[in-house]
Structure 1
């Protein structure tokens, strides 16, 4: 998959939507981020004292806008589908997957591989877009098209699409325990209206307003 045509803004962000899920008690831990982009999130975790060691993996190296790989302990460029790191067996306290699994052909195999790098008491924080979001339903059922886009739910580099329960099933079927999950409805621009509707419908419409989900899982 060719990522070279992506705008640099696609890669250059600190993923505070994920870092806020890291427990306050976690300090000086070993962190692996798959889909580390420019390394901004790992650099933030190093600077804030959360990460004692930070390792990043990304499929795309932007030679025009060099990534912050020098700011972290190790930055590896390549496809996680084929990369393997036996030296990191049972090594990391935290593995982060920011909107990665929808981009790979065999997400279950990737999860199985990453599980070997995770300590027995370690956690994975995973975010994934929700195909059940109302904008996707509007596009498919009202506008009648499934055209791919530059970014978002219909990003042209997406290989797979998930609803919330598909995500849960993916993790559990690969030997993970779901510790918790959050809906992006909490960060939704119209969150007050969305929360009211969700309450009135006893949570039925949560999945229609959630652009993405954030899961914390363990072995």
Structure 2
């Protein structure tokens, strides 16, 4: 089902993840679910990455998977792609909206940890199934409507809320450095802040479309 998606699904650059990479730059970066490769190209061209590698299930015809800025691009399933990637090597692993597509993201995250150097980071985005449009539809309308994208993407195999995102990374032995949120909070401004304060944070989770996680292997400083 993932393989049947339109090519445009794989072609966006994940700027919201790149800004979470420590500014020092010159990192060895691995991206899982790299799509057509635009994020890796930008990471290389802006100096964030000195060596960049992508992995995706789908080969795209019109993207940047073969761009000269990308050092390696592997087509395959990260859950079964054993021995193809260097252990204790990468400074940064990007997982942009990919863990929810996996059969066993818990085991896969433990495998990815082996590829990181001490102090290396996994930077991930994970949809929040508690987002109000999903949870209210289920609670009040009995609706759980799959689609071609978004939180209820029909190719998602796993669903997460804030606590299970934390469990996912901590269970694999990572130290969570940052747990951010995307959603309409900024657009709502002080109104969102006030309601969130009155509800002791409950409102914030309902407005979160996805969580942005920065998690470290070990307890040291930035990778490098």
TM normalised by structure 2 equals 0.90
1:9 — aligned with what? 8
- Worse-superposed segment, 133-142 or 184-193: 184-193
**Counterpart contact for 2:96–2:124, Cα < 8 Å:** yes
**Counterpart contact for 2:184–2:207, Cα < 8 Å:** no
**Counterpart contact for 1:37–1:60, Cα < 8 Å:** yes
Q: What is the DSSP-based 3-state SS (H/G/I as helix, E as strand, rest coil) of the residue aligned with 2:66?
A: helix
Change (3 A) 1:188 1:159: farther
2:220 — aligned with what? none
Change (3 A) 1:179 1:62: same
- Structure 2 gaps of 5+ residues are 218-224
Change (3 A) 1:119 1:201: same
Query: How many Å apart are 1:24 and its aligned residue?
Result: 1.4
- Worse-superposed segment, 66-75 or 102-111: 66-75
TM normalised by structure 1 equals 0.92
Partner Cα distance (1:34, 1:136) in 2: 26
Query: How many Å apart are 1:33 and its aligned residue?
Result: 0.3
- Structure 1 gaps of 5+ residues are none
Structure 1 runs (4+) deviating above 3 angstroms are 185-193
Partner Cα distance (1:87, 1:129) in 2: 27
Aligned residues: 216
**Counterpart contact for 1:185–1:191, Cα < 8 Å:** no
**Counterpart contact for 2:10–2:36, Cα < 8 Å:** yes
Query: How many Å apart are 1:2 and its aligned residue?
Result: 4.0
Q: How does 1:10-49 map to 2 (within 5 A)?
A: 10-25=9-24, 27-49=25-47
